Amino acid sequence: MRSLLCHSLFAAGALVATACGSNNGNGPTFDAKPADVIDATPPPPDACVGLECKKVDCSTMGGGTTTLSGIVYAPNGTLPLSGVTVYVPNADPGPIPEGVQCNKCNDTLAGQPVSQVNTDEAGHFVLPDVPVTADLPVIIQVGKWRRQITIPTVAACTDTPVDAALTRLPRNHTEGDMPKIALSTGGADALECLPLKLGIDPAEITTGSETGRVNLFVGSGGGTSAFDSTFAGGARTLSNATTFWNTESNLDKYDIVMLSCEGSEYEDQKSPTALQNMYDYANKGGRVFATHYHYYWINAAPQPWPMALTLNDTGDFIDVTATVDETFDKGKALATWLVNVGASTVHGKIDIADGRNIAKAINSALAQQYIYLEASTGYTGPQISQFTTPLDVQEADRCGKVVYSDMHVSTSSFPGDAYPLGCSADLTPQEKALAFVFFDIASCVGPIIN
Judgement on whether residues 126 and 58 belong to the same structural domain of the protein: yes
Question: Angle at which helices 329-340 and 429-440 pack, to 10 degrees?
Answer: 140
What are the angstrom distances between the C-alpha of 284 and each of 78, 105, 143, 238, 365?
A: 34, 15, 15, 27, 21
**pTM for the predicted model, two decimal places:** 0.88
Q: With residue 9 as reference, give the H or E element that holds it.
A: strand 8-11
**Quick check: 362 and 309 in contact, CB under 8 A?**
yes
**pLDDT tens, position by position, 134-148:** 999 999 999 999 999
- CB under 8 Å to 342, separation ≥6 — which residues? 429, 432
Can you name the residues that pair with 258 across neighbouring β-strands?
Answer: 183, 289
Judgement on whether residues 224 and 366 belong to the same structural domain of the protein: yes
Q: Which amino acid is at 320?
A: V
Q: Which amino acid is at 417?
A: D
Domain that holds residue 320: 181-440
Q: Taking all residues of the chain, what is their mean pLDDT, rounded to a whole number?
A: 89
**What is the predicted pLDDT for the residue at 424?**
86
Domain-located, residue 167: no
CA dihedral 404, 407, 409, 412 (to 10 degrees): 160
**Quick check: 129 and 55 in contact, CB under 8 A?**
yes
- CB under 8 Å to 327, separation ≥6 — which residues? 450
**Quick check: 357 and 381 in contact, CB under 8 A?**
yes
- CB under 8 Å to 11, separation ≥6 — which residues? 39
Domain final position from 130, 161, 192: 161
Question: Closest Cα partner for 104 from 407, 334, 308, 394?
Answer: 394
Judgement on whether residues 46 and 85 belong to the same structural domain of the protein: yes
Question: Closest Cα partner for 192 from 178, 177, 181, 176?
Answer: 181
Domain-located, residue 131: yes
**pLDDT tens, position by position, 203-237:** 999 999 999 999 999 999 998 999 999 999 999 99
**pLDDT tens, position by position, 151-188:** 999 999 999 999 999 999 999 999 999 999 999 999 98
Domain-located, residue 449: no
**Quick check: 391 and 368 in contact, CB under 8 A?**
no
- The helix/strand/coil state of 68 is strand
How many degrees, rounded to 5, is the angle at CA 405 between CA 299 and CA 168? 135
Cα separation, 435 vs 301, whole angstroms: 26
**pLDDT tens, position by position, 60-87:** 988 899 999 999 999 999 999 999 999 9
Cα separation, 343 vs 189, whole angstroms: 20
Domain-located, residue 243: yes
pLDDT value at 21 more than 60: no
- The helix/strand/coil state of 327 is coil
pLDDT value at 14 more than 60: no
Judgement on whether residues 132 and 185 belong to the same structural domain of the protein: no
What's the chain's Rg over C-alpha atoms? 23
Judgement on whether residues 332 and 202 belong to the same structural domain of the protein: yes
Domain-located, residue 81: yes
Judgement on whether residues 153 and 287 belong to the same structural domain of the protein: no
- Structural domain count, the chain: 2
**CATH number of the domain bearing residue 77:** 2.60.40.10
DSSP single-letter state for residue 348? T
Judgement on whether residues 84 and 211 belong to the same structural domain of the protein: no
**CATH number of the domain bearing residue 311:** 3.40.50.880
**What is the predicted pLDDT for the residue at 53?**
96
Cα separation, 173 vs 146, whole angstroms: 10
**pLDDT tens, position by position, 384-421:** 999 999 999 999 899 999 999 999 887 667 788 899 99
State the pLDDT confidence band at 106, using cuts at 50, 70 and 90: confident
**pLDDT tens, position by position, 363-384:** 999 999 999 999 999 999 999 9
- The helix/strand/coil state of 262 is coil
**What is the predicted pLDDT for the residue at 124?**
98
Judgement on whether residues 138 and 211 belong to the same structural domain of the protein: no
**Quick check: 448 and 368 in contact, CB under 8 A?**
yes
pLDDT value at 32 more than 80: no
Cα separation, 4 vs 245, whole angstroms: 34
Domain-located, residue 1: no
Cα separation, 292 vs 32, whole angstroms: 52
Judgement on whether residues 310 and 390 belong to the same structural domain of the protein: yes
- CB under 8 Å to 77, separation ≥6 — which residues? 164, 165, 168, 199
Domain final position from 161, 191, 218: 161
